[in-house]
Amino acid sequence: MRYLPLSDVDRAEMLDVIGAGSIDDLFADVPAEARLDGPIAGLPMHSSELSVERQLRAMAAKNLVAGEVPFFLGCGAYRHHVPASVDHIIQRGEFLTAYTPYQPEIAQGTLQVLFEFQTQVARLLGCEVANASMYDGSTACWEAIGMARRITRRTGAILSSGLHPHYVSVAKTMARFTGDMLDTAVPSFDRTDTERLIAGITKETSCVVVQYPDILGRIGDLTPIADAAHAAGALLIAVVTEPVALGLIKAPGEMGADIVVGEGQSIGVGLQFGGPYVGLFATREKYVRQMPGRLAGETIDAEGKRGFVLTLSTREQHIRREKATSNICTNSGLCALAFSVHMTLLGEKGLRTLAGINHAWAVEVAGRLSAIPGVSLVGGAFFNEFTLRLPVEARPAVHAMVEKRVLGGVSLGRLYPGEDSLANGLVVAVTETVTNADIDALEAALAECCA
């Protein structure tokens, strides 16, 4: 077996040193009735590298690859071009095969990367501090609601109808067990729910949670919601699932959001059928001790040299156990590295250009698709994603387009099954990766579905 260095001679010598007659003697604590006397039946035996590669390649071949077809899916996961050097760097063994940096003297590489990542995320989201990452955007969103509960000592959270329905589901799952009261609603094509959010704020409200841009792609000023929340002693949580947008549009922190969380996948990480992704989490400095997750901080070593360590760990489970701010133990370290490398390659200049290109393509595609007879664009400002109202149900249209090898968008019927008012909605995301030929193919396929 190619991953096991011990030879039979080694094994015999080692058993001799230990003073055991056989390997079985080392498993003596396992009750006899629970011991298996050979390989588990019904499972295949070991395979060569070539054979394993073949088996997995056969499965991979059954999937329609985003990069090989006209592709317009978004709704929380976006396809952007990732420079080749990003994957090269994250595959360096010193990053890939390192553990959590609990021994800082020999983990300065990871720790400095995390410190730089935290700074990049804080600046991008317009906040003072960020942590070293969470699992993904949806879990970061729930953690933010829990943090708002701890800060305000209130349990009422008002969730915008524009919040990703899967994020709402995650929050509902957890709230059932924690006692938080969630006020939720489904989106409407005709208006955003700013008025509902503001009207719903009471003295029991811990936070208002808005997504920006929202699940239908719309963007709006968060300032009035922030002001209303603050006036009642509640916090504003903003959720960003497409961070590339923040190269072009105002950051939630600049509009008064107290906690900004996000899905960082779109910078550096890739689609990967939903994971691993990288949760972004940023807030005000005064709330840092209520923040979940790992934090890297600057300090000095015994010779006075600058160095970095994991810090404020008295918030965390390995110290505080059941009193910790969260049960989270890992961060999404390697994905945070990928995000950080990609962000470093882009810089402000590249990010602004990338965002500008995304928006320009989206404006063009929105114009062309809404010119199809019967199709209209759901109103409001947008970045690189928008919602179309089709003259037919969008869900079958999506499947019909797949038959033509066009991945044309996410139907609201999939995200909101049973909501008749949304059944004709198709959410279309347009990034720098599309081509004119892709747009032609989508236009033709969609026109046929709507004819």
Kind plus residue range of the DSSP H or E element containing 117: helix 108-125
Cβ proximity to another protein: between 166 and 232 the closer is: 166
Q: Which of residues 253-272 bind another protein (CB under 8 A)?
A: 254, 263, 270-272
| Residue 281 binds to another protein (criterion: CB under 8 A) | no
| Residue 280 binds to another protein (criterion: CB under 8 A) | no
Judged by phi (left if over 0) then psi (alpha if -120 to 50, else beta), residue 160 lies in: beta
Region from 150-158, 224-232, 322-330, 440-448 binding another protein, contact rule CB under 8 A: 322-330
User: What is the x/- site pattern for another protein, positions 329-368, by CB under 8 A?
Assistant: xxxxxxx-x---x-xxxxxxxxxxxx-xx-xxxxx--x--
Q: Which of 54, 68, 64 is CA-nearest to residue 435?
A: 68
| Residue 389 binds to another protein (criterion: CB under 8 A) | no
Member of 204, 320, 371, 451 binding another protein (CB under 8 A): 320
Cβ proximity to another protein: between 144 and 271 the closer is: 271
Q: Which residues contact 285 (CB under 8 A, 6 or more apart)?
A: 128, 129
Taking a C-beta distance cutoff of 8 angstroms, is the pair 193, 185 a contact? yes
| Residue 404 binds to another protein (criterion: CB under 8 A) | no
**274: helix, strand or coil:** helix
* DSSP structural state of residue 322: G
Member of 380, 393, 404, 444 binding another protein (CB under 8 A): 380
| Residue 125 binds to another protein (criterion: CB under 8 A) | no
Taking a C-beta distance cutoff of 8 angstroms, is the pair 213, 245 a contact? yes
Cβ proximity to another protein: between 17 and 203 the closer is: 17
Member of 159, 170, 244, 390 binding another protein (CB under 8 A): 170
**Site size for another protein, by CB under 8 A?**
212
394-403 vs 436-450: helix crossing angle, rounded to 10: 130
Least distance from another protein to the Cβ atom of residue 374, Å: 22
| Residue 233 binds to another protein (criterion: CB under 8 A) | no
Structure-block tokens of residue 46: 């070991």
| Residue 32 binds to another protein (criterion: CB under 8 A) | no
Member of 200, 224, 233, 276 binding another protein (CB under 8 A): 276
Member of 200, 233, 307, 391 binding another protein (CB under 8 A): 307
Cβ proximity to another protein: between 40 and 203 the closer is: 40
Q: Which of residues 145-164 bind another protein (CB under 8 A)?
A: 164
Q: Computed over its alpha carbons, how large is the radius of gyration of the chain?
A: 25
Cβ proximity to another protein: between 66 and 444 the closer is: 66
b/e 301-339 (16+ beta carbons within 10 angstroms → b):
eeeeeebbbbeeeebbbeeeeeebbbebeebbbbbbbbb
Region from 109-117, 155-163, 192-200, 228-236 binding another protein, contact rule CB under 8 A: 109-117
Region from 150-158, 228-236, 249-257, 442-450 binding another protein, contact rule CB under 8 A: 249-257
Q: What are phi and psi of 418, to 5 degrees?
A: 90, -10
Q: Please state whether the peptide bond connecting residue 44 to the residue before it is cis, i.e. omega within 30 degrees of 0.
A: no
| Residue 231 binds to another protein (criterion: CB under 8 A) | no
Taking a C-beta distance cutoff of 8 angstroms, is the pair 408, 439 a contact? no
Q: Which of residues 181-210 bind another protein (CB under 8 A)?
A: none
Long-range CB pairs of 346-350, under 8 A, 24+ apart, other chains included: 346/267, 348/247
Member of 8, 190, 203, 304 binding another protein (CB under 8 A): 304
Region from 151-159, 181-189, 190-198, 327-335 binding another protein, contact rule CB under 8 A: 327-335
Alpha carbon distance 229, 210 (integer Å):
12
User: Strand 205-211 and strand 156-159: pairing?
Assistant: parallel
Alpha carbon distance 206, 263 (integer Å):
22
**310: helix, strand or coil:** strand
Member of 191, 202, 306, 421 binding another protein (CB under 8 A): 306
**262: helix, strand or coil:** strand
Region from 70-78, 151-159, 191-199, 232-240 binding another protein, contact rule CB under 8 A: 70-78
Cβ proximity to another protein: between 366 and 422 the closer is: 366
| Residue 21 binds to another protein (criterion: CB under 8 A) | no
| Residue 437 binds to another protein (criterion: CB under 8 A) | no
